[in-house]
Amino acid sequence: MTRVLQLNHYTQGQYIKKIQYYHTCGYKLLTSGYILLSSLPDLCGTKTQIMDIEKNKAIIARFDQACIEQNNAALMDELVSDRVINHAAQPGKPNGKESFHHFLDALHAGLSGIKVTVLHQAAENDLVMTHKLISGMHTSHLFGVPASGQPISFEAIEIIRLENGKYAEHWVQSNMAAALGTLQGH
């Protein structure tokens, strides 16, 4: 459904211009600064969508803190759908929930003091994109690289599609391999 909001702009009683805002449910309402969006009626559930987006961001933050930083497997099982598709899983390896367990177990076996810092985050509908920095101390064997005793950090850009408050799909690109490469030889 498309809704049109038409405003006529007057200055000192004189007609200046007509402004039309087109809104299709599920897409952002475009404004030019002449109106305050919060004073408008909730067209097609826009305020609800904003609340849902904030809930989705909170789910990602909870996962980052409890699962990545603390390796809380029970909470991970709660936050990740049984039908999740992990598009970042290694070719030929399982790409479901077990791929999350495998990665986090390996990460925690090789790093201590893991910290996640969110650098940028954006969300729309059921998708949350997060650019994050993951850091820790390389204290044991990690993805083929023996312990170096050195601090390590790598960036990841992750897209999560949520469904019913759980991870449903996961995409990620990171520079972890390059960061590990710099530790070889220490």
pTM: 0.72
Contact status, residue 138 vs residue 149, Cβ threshold 8 Å: yes
Summarised one tens digit per residue, pLDDT across range 72-115 is 999 999 999 999 999 998 888 889 999 999 999 999 999 999 99
- Residue spans of the domains in the chain: they are 2-41, 46-183
Fold of 46-183: Nuclear Transport Factor 2; Chain: A, (3.10.450)
